[in-house]
Amino acid sequence: MYILVSPCILNEKLRAEGITTDADRMMWASAVARCRQFGIEMVPLPCPETLYLGISRNQGSFLDRLNTPEFAAILDHLEEDVQALITERHARPIAILGVNSSPTCGVTTTYYGNEKSAGPGVFLKRFSDIPMIDVRLFAKYHIYLAAPLFSEAQKIYNVHLAHLLSSQHYDVYLPQKFEDTTESRSKNREELIYRRNLSALKNSDIVVAVIDGSDVDSGTAWEMGYATALGKRVIAIRTDFRRYSDNELVNLMLEMEAEIVANSDGLSSLLL
């Protein structure tokens, strides 16, 4: 199992001078950590810009410096090399990891001209049959699974979701793993449960919330609201066909900031 990677993610010296920030480095380190955790080999792509312009270069768009027959010939050659690499491995990569805004390795945005344009860079565009993801999105892989956990059926479903997310290379925090029963509760234990879950919630990148039921579990609702206040992505899964009202699946305040899906397939489709 491997992923093709824009080479500057592994070697920032391949980027144009002066554009790499500490936030970039943190994101790249997180992307590398995700691959290590799940045994994904990171195979660097060649860097067309470095081959054409050299390592020491200023930032620029495709039209500024790369719109030449010579650069097109480099792209043709490198595309053949990458296709040969895939053939030699007898397996397609799970994805290509790119860097948005890059004229060559952008995924959903690129500096084609003087302003950002939608779409992939000119190099990644040649591999449109392979799933692509921006490194900033790929680096956000810590999930907090917010859900009711008080019945056997609820716990089994939560484990199912956790396994599904783990199969897509997400690190999942499942609160029910931290044993919480009526018999074992004490004031001190309740404090430990709260602090542990709060820390995991703060350190998560994404919250996946189960919002089934005639009314959403109060703890889950609190966790969704807290995550929203922290600016985190919230994905809510509701398999329950009942509606809160004609215009609401659940309480309006929970719907407005969440991406809502109806089943496991819908959840998988939102996450690479």
Residue pLDDT tens, the chain, 272 long = 999 999 999 999 999 888 999 999 999 999 999 999 999 999 999 999 999 999 888 888 999 999 999 999 999 999 999 999 999 999 999 999 999 999 999 999 999 988 899 999 999 999 999 999 999 999 999 999 999 998 999 999 999 999 999 999 999 999 998 765 555 556 677 888 889 999 999 999 999 999 998 888 999 999 999 999 999 999 999 988 877 766 677 777 888 889 999 999 999 998 87
Quote the number of domains for the chain.
2
Q: Are residues 91 and 33 located together in one domain of the fold?
A: yes
Distance separating alpha carbons of residues 173 and 196, to the nearest angstrom: 11
Q: What CATH number has the domain bearing residue 89?
A: 3.40.50
Q: What is the CATH number of the domain that holds 149?
A: 3.40.50.450
What's the pLDDT score for residue 235?
A: 96
Same domain, 178 and 107: no
Number of Cα atoms under 13 Å in the Cβ half of residue 117: 15
Q: Give the chain as a 3 state SS string.
A: CEEEECHHHCCHHHCCCCCCCHHHHHHHHHHHHHHHHCCCEEEECCCHHHHHHCCCCCCCCHHHHCCCHHHHHHHHHHHHHHHHHHHHHCCCCCCEEECCECCCCCCCEECCCCCCEECCCCCHHHHCCCCEEEHHHHCCCEEEEECCCCCHHHHHHHHHHHHHHHHCCCEEECHHHCCCCCCCCCHHHHHHHHHHHHHHHHHCCEEEEECCCCCCCHHHHHHHHHHHHCCCEEEEECCCCCCCECCECCCHHHHCCCEEECCHHHHHHHCC
Half-sphere exposure of 237 (CA within 13 A, CB side): 24
Domain boundary among the residues 120, 138, 156 is at: 138
Last residue of a domain, one of 138, 166, 188: 138
Q: What is the pLDDT of residue 240?
A: 84
Q: Which residues of 4-21 are buried (b: 16+ CB within 10 A; e: fewer)?
A: bbbbbbeeeebbbeeeee
End-of-domain residue from the set 96, 121, 138? 138
92 with 172, same domain: the answer is: no
Same domain, 8 and 27: yes
| Residue 23 and residue 89 share a domain | yes
Cα(64)–Cα(104) distance, integer angstroms: 13
Q: Write down the pLDDT at residue 39.
A: 97
99 and 188 in one domain?
no
Does residue 196 share a domain with residue 262?
Answer: yes
212 and 119, same domain (yes or no): no
Q: Within this chain, do residues 80 and 132 fall inside the same structural domain, yes or no?
A: yes
**Type of residue at 188:** N
pLDDT of residue 157: 95
195 and 132 fall within a common domain: no
| pLDDT value for 190 | 80
* 96, 125: one domain: yes
Query: What is the span of the domain harbouring residue 30?
Result: 2-138
Report how far residue 113's alpha carbon sits from residue 120's, in angstroms, rounded to the nearest whole number. 13
Q: Is the same domain home to 110 and 184?
A: no
